[in-house]
Amino acid sequence: MKTAASSPRPMSPSLMTRIGAPISVMIAGALALLIVGCALMASWIAPYDPTDLASFELINAELPPAFTAEGDSHFLLGTDNQGRDLLSAMLYGARVSIAIGGGAVLVAATLGVILGLLAGYFGGKVDAVIMRIADVILSFPTILLALLVSGIARALFPGAATAEWAPVILICAIAIHEWVQYARTVRAATMVETAKDYVRAAKVIGLPPSRIMLRHILPNVMSPVLVIATINLAAAVLTEATLSFLGVGMPPTYPSLGTLIRIGNEFVFSGIWWIALFPALTLVILVLAVNIVGDWLRDRFNPKLRVKR
Amino acid sequence: MLKVLLSRLGQAALVMLVVSAISFVMFRFVGDPVSSMSRENASVEEKAELRRSLGLDQPVVVQYGRFLARTLSGDLGISYRNQRPVTQLIAERLPATLELVLVATILSLALGIPLGVLCALKPNGVAARLVQAFSLIGISTPTFVTGIVLILVFAVSLGWLPSFGRGQVVDLGWWSTGFLTLSGLKALILPGITLALYQLTLIMRLVRAEMIDVLSSDYIRFARARGLPRRYIHFHLALRNALMPVITVTGLQIGSLIAFAIVTETVFQWPGMGLLFIQAVSFVDIPVMAAYLLFVGLLFVLINTVVDILYAVVDPRLRARSA
């Protein structure tokens, strides 16, 4: 529901013709790369180190952006409530968001591909058990499962450990729902491949199932996985931001974009708009760009693919 | 027919059993109920006594059985944080969430269906392209950002609408409603729009896809060939058939909306179940979390089962396939 993936059938005509020309896709791709690139190089290009608590000066707190009347030229996009340079915090925050989103996609894809291969190759009871679990998981929305997982994790690692383990908890919380998509797609593709002659031949010459699955079937079922992964990345970044916004994600000492928006939200009423607005804008542009590229990739490489939630 | 009914009910019972087991495991093993319920300076004997009185010294299966029995009788334990029965807390918060979800559903249908039809009838028109572009931006904007922007514009800058709470509510028995007062209705506007936007894109895309599908079917071509008026073809013949799946999806989505209302309720400090749940998560209030899970799980299973059974009643083909 949050991504293009929720569309009940493949998008037709392709996004290229819907929005205009492939130029829009190229711009989106460039924007996505720019944000990801800046985020990855945060430690070099950020003017300040937002994780270094000693560098904040409370006297600099809540300074408006440099281009406004009361702005300070040292802080291009202003400062947050603790005197932290907002631009630096955003660069580091985007890095955290992308790392967690990417991590969640990686975990979900790995788990989903393995379970999908097993279900599709062995069929029978293995298939029934895996797909039943998938059905139960699918009947709950991502956000609810993710909140439950982080709630349980909070109880298991009380106090400071929660903050320390936050990225891992978030990755697990998001991946626990998202693997189902991969598993379903890979299962269907694997069932088709398993019936083909090359797999039957491999079985006849006595290769072990693990080798047949990984070396023979996997390369042939991977392409839809990559497309789902792109679209999923946008959704994962959004889920992470939502969890952090709700206060169960990244702690304020090591903020992601969602945490920054949460901090900013507390100051919106006092007319301090920049702390919430700039991170929100970055988040929306990043997700929009990834969604556009993902949509296009899906239409371009696999017109028949139906992404199921 | 009876067979279908039984198998669906069996499935539903299975899912509920799984959900209740998860919620029991949370209750029992996540965090120690004894240390969260006893006084800070309680002695070892006092703790052991509490453990016995809570039945925590019994075998796990017995405990699970008791948990199920208690749950079925409506006793979901006592909130660690509020020190009040969880069932009572949820019953208090339920009307707020359901009214919000109702408003959001109506709004998203009222906007989503016309926009979807517009996109299907003139897929290459300027309006349709604009709508499509907006829908792409819509799915890329997280709900809480939409909420904050709406608050910034309509509550902080313009000061037209309240930004938090339910306004004045009227109690009708145990149900407190915001529909009967002006401030209650005003308070519903911003959260309602925020939650509806999440649903709007989905409905719009679904209507568009279904309409395009129906418009290319034979009976519409014959209707056109007969020279029936366009308006009649589009809205009387095509839209009616395109709306069937929309109604189903809207129904199925009500569960999701209730869960997703967590975000909207947090932004607008809406005193519903979602806010209760998110506070429970931050304060590790396990009974409330477990109860919310059970409640939402039950809601999902109920909706899914009812839709499945209705399908079997309406469509004989499905009956044959599953029997």
Interface test with A, best of B145, B194, B284 (most A CBs within 10 A): B145
Task: Tell me, yes or no, whether B291 lies in a domain.
Answer: no
Size of interface A-B (CB pairs under 8 A): 135
To the nearest 10 degrees (0 to 180), the angle between helices A86-122 and A124-138 is 150
Task: Tell me, yes or no, whether B238 lies in a domain.
Answer: yes
**What digits encode the pLDDT tens for the residues A261-286?**
888 888 777 767 777 888 888 888 88
Q: What is the structure's pLDDT at B259?
A: 79
Contacts of A247 in chain B (CB under 8 A): 278, 282
Residues whose CB is less than 8 angstroms from the CB of residue A169 and which lie 6 or more positions away in sequence, other chains included: A149, A150, A153, A157, A162
Contacts of B163 in chain A (CB under 8 A): 269
Cβ contact (<8 Å) for B263 and A288? no
Q: Shortest CA distance to A152 belongs to which of B279, B36, B288, B284?
A: B284
Q: What is the structure's pLDDT at B20?
A: 83
Dig out the tokens for B313 from the structure: 């009643």
In whole angstroms, how far apart are CA B16 and each of B145, B244, B266? 34, 28, 28
Q: What is the structure's pLDDT at B322?
A: 46
Residue B220, class by beta-carbon neighbours within 10 Å (0-12 exposed, 13-18 middle, 19+ buried)?
A: middle
DSSP state of A308: -
User: How many CA atoms lie within 13 Å of A26's alpha carbon, on the beta-carbon side?
Assistant: 4
The lowest-confidence range among A16-30, B70-84, B111-125 is A16-30
Cβ contact (<8 Å) for B278 and A147? yes
Contact residues, B window 152-211, toward A, CB-based 8 Å cutoff: 152, 156, 163, 198-199, 201-202, 205-206, 209
Interface residue B260 vs chain A (CB under 8 A)? yes
Interface residue B42 vs chain A (CB under 8 A)? no
Contacts of A19 in chain B (CB under 8 A): 129, 132-133, 136
Q: What is the mean pLDDT of residues B56-73?
A: 78
Q: What is the structure's pLDDT at A105?
A: 93
Beta bridge partners of A152: none
Interface residue A280 vs chain B (CB under 8 A)? yes
Task: Tell me, yes or no, whether B241 lies in a domain.
Answer: yes
One-letter amino acid for residue B139 of the chain: I
Cβ contact (<8 Å) for A1 and B198? yes
Q: What is the structure's pLDDT at A207?
A: 87
- pLDDT above 70 coverage of chain B, percent: 88
Q: What is the structure's pLDDT at A1?
A: 38
Cβ contact (<8 Å) for B281 and A154? yes
- State the DSSP string of B74-135: T---B-TTT-SBHHHHHHHHHHHHHHHHHHHHHHHHHHHHHHHHHHHHSTTSHHHHHHHHHH
Task: Tell me, yes or no, whether B212 lies in a domain.
Answer: yes
Contact predicate A115/A179, CB 8 Å: yes
Interface residue B21 vs chain A (CB under 8 A)? no
What is the number of domains present in chain B?
Answer: 1
Beta bridge partners of B78: B85
Task: Tell me, yes or no, whether B30 lies in a domain.
Answer: no
Interface residue B101 vs chain A (CB under 8 A)? no
Q: What is the structure's pLDDT at B168?
A: 72
Q: Give the CATH number of the domain where residue B224 resides.
A: 1.10.3720.10
Q: Taking all residues of chain A, what is their mean pLDDT, rounded to a whole number?
A: 78
Q: Shortest CA distance to B79 belongs to which of B291, B297, B253, B295?
A: B291
Task: Tell me, yes or no, whether B224 lies in a domain.
Answer: yes
CB atoms within 10 A of CB B150: 20
**What digits encode the pLDDT tens for the residues A187-215?**
988 888 888 888 888 888 988 888 888 88
Range of the domain at B161: 91-280
Cβ contact (<8 Å) for B148 and A4? no
Task: Tell me, yes or no, whether B97 lies in a domain.
Answer: yes
Contact residues, A window 29-88, toward B, CB-based 8 Å cutoff: none
Contact predicate A104/A177, CB 8 Å: no
How far does CA B9 lie from the centroid of its chain? 21
Q: What is the structure's pLDDT at B317?
A: 60
Q: What is the mean pLDDT of residues B157-162?
A: 77
Cβ contact (<8 Å) for A148 and B293? yes
- State the DSSP string of A159-218: THHHHHHHHHHHHHHHHHHHHHHHHHHHHHHHHHHHTSHHHHHHHHTT--HHHIIIIIIH
Q: What is the structure's pLDDT at A112?
A: 92
Q: What is the pTM of this model?
A: 0.79
Contacts of B136 in chain A (CB under 8 A): 4, 19, 288, 291-292, 295
Interface residue B104 vs chain A (CB under 8 A)? no
pLDDT band at B18 (very low <50, low <70, confident <90, very high): confident
* Alpha-carbon gap, residue A163 to A157, rounded angstroms: 9
Q: What is the structure's pLDDT at A160?
A: 67
